């Protein structure tokens, strides 16, 4: 028996071969390790995919939310612009209304100073300025031909209205309740006809002789059915026999007002221009 303390290494050295330590793994264990590693890698890959899908979903949701926000912002801006436009329109209407009020007030004051008398009264009600002219200076009894005094008053009225072309004019004939008598019945069977004829006579003077635009003017006869006083007394009947000239803004003139575009496209009879009648001096 050898005295060497390392007989195996000594033997290998002696044989001329270096000594090597090696690890031996069984084939089945190697396959198992590969499978485990593959499963780990696959699980990581799947987790990454799930994370990416979640991030993509969040990005998509965020993009959709941003688009919706932009649409809401655009709609909001449109609403703001629309409201600002409405405010501007209302402000413009307010300014125009204030100007109209000032203009109407100035017209009322001027007409009161120039026209009011025992036969001519002026009052304002619900935005309408009305000039009441008693028939004793306008017409003879039972007649519809203007007297010189009536023409003088209408000429003054027309001179004021010519300065306010935006205003409309309604001329209204009124009578008392006394029936038409004598020869006048052949021309005016009732007070309806007489009141209408008197209103038309005033309208023709205002348009044909005083030069007012006929598109601004209308006539109506109410006969005895709109009294302002008691027909049982002579004084009351005298107050009821009158011509009322109502002056009002276009928006209060009535639903049958013809728009300018319609008026120009309709075959309306032309009215030859007439030389305006100068307003008589105050006191005539």
Compute the mean pLDDT over every residue in the chain, rounded to the nearest whole number.
Answer: 81
DSSP string, 59-81: HHHHHHHHHHHHHHHHHHHHHHH
The reply to whether 278 falls in a domain is: no
pLDDT at 100: 64
What's the pLDDT tens digit per position in 132-157?
999 999 999 999 999 999 999 999 99
Q: What is the CATH number of the domain that holds 160?
A: 3.30.1330.60
Which has the minimum average pLDDT: 34-43, 100-109, 138-147, 244-253? Answer: 100-109
The reply to whether 166 falls in a domain is: yes
Which has the minimum average pLDDT: 19-33, 104-118, 195-209, 268-282? Answer: 268-282
In this predicted model, which residue has the larger pLDDT, 68 or 98? 68
Between CA 146 and CA 137 the distance in angstroms is 9
Angle between helices 27-115 and 148-161 (to 10 degrees): 150
Which has the minimum average pLDDT: 89-93, 96-100, 199-203? Answer: 96-100
φ/ψ bin of 170: left (φ > 0), alpha (ψ from -120 to 50), beta (otherwise): beta
Count of domains for the chain: 1
The reply to whether 276 falls in a domain is: no
The reply to whether 41 falls in a domain is: no
DSSP-assigned beta bridge partners for residue 244: 132, 172
pLDDT band at 68 (very low <50, low <70, confident <90, very high): confident
In this predicted model, which residue has the larger pLDDT, 279 or 231? 231
For residue 246, the enclosing domain spans: 105-265
The reply to whether 17 falls in a domain is: no
The reply to whether 167 falls in a domain is: yes
Between CA 230 and CA 93 the distance in angstroms is 42
pLDDT at 251: 63
Rounded to 5 degrees, what angle do the CA atoms 106, 108, 109 make?
Answer: 65
Q: Are 137 and 160 in contact (CB under 8 A)?
A: no
Q: Residue 12 pLDDT > 70, yes or no?
A: no
What's the pLDDT tens digit per position in 257-279?
444 444 333 333 343 444 444 44
Most confident of 15-24, 49-58, 161-170: 161-170
pLDDT band at 208 (very low <50, low <70, confident <90, very high): very high
Most confident of 48-52, 87-91, 139-143, 248-252: 139-143
Between CA 238 and CA 236 the distance in angstroms is 5
Q: Which two tokens stand for residue 96?
A: 């125009």
pLDDT at 74: 86
Average pLDDT over residues 200-214: 97
In this predicted model, which residue has the larger pLDDT, 45 or 282? 45
The reply to whether 11 falls in a domain is: no
Average pLDDT over residues 236-261: 74
In this predicted model, which residue has the larger pLDDT, 190 or 68? 190
The reply to whether 120 falls in a domain is: yes
* CA nearest to 215, candidates 253, 263, 283: 263
């Amino acid at each position: 028996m050898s005295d060497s303390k390392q007989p195996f290494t000594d033997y290998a050295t002696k044989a001329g071969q270096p000594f090597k330590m090696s690890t031996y793994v069984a084939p089945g264990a190697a396959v198992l390790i590969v499978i485990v590693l593959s499963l780990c890698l696959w699980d990581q890959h799947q987790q990454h995919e799930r994370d990416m899908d979640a991030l993509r979903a969040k990005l998509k949701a965020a993009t959709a939310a941003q688009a919706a926000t932009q649409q809401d912002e655009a709609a909001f801006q449109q609403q703001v612009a629309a409201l600002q436009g409405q405010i501007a329109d209302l402000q413009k209407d307010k300014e125009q209304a204030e100007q109209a009020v000032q203009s109407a007030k100035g017209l009322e004051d001027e007409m009161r100073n120039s026209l009011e008398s025992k036969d001519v009264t002026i009052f304002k009600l619900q935005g309408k300025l009305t000039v009441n002219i008693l028939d004793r200076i306008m017409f003879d009894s039972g007649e519809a031909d203007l007297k010189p005094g009536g023409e003088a008053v209408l000429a003054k009225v027309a001179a004021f209205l010519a300065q306010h072309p935006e205003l409309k004019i309604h001329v209204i004939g009124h009578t008392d309740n006394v029936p038409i008598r004598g020869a006048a019945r052949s021309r005016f069977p009732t007070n309806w006809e007489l009141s209408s004829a008197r209103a038309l006579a005033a309208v023709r003077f205002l348009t044909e002789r005083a030069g007012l635009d006929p598109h601004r003017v209308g006539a109506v006869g109410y006969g005895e059915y709109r009294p302002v006083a008691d027909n049982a007394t002579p004084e009351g009947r005298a107050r009821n026999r009158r011509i009322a000239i109502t002056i009002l803004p276009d928006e209060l003139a009535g639903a049958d007002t013809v728009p300018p575009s319609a008026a120009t496209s309709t075959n309306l009879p032309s009215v030859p221009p007439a030389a305006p009648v100068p307003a008589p001096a105050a006191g005539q």
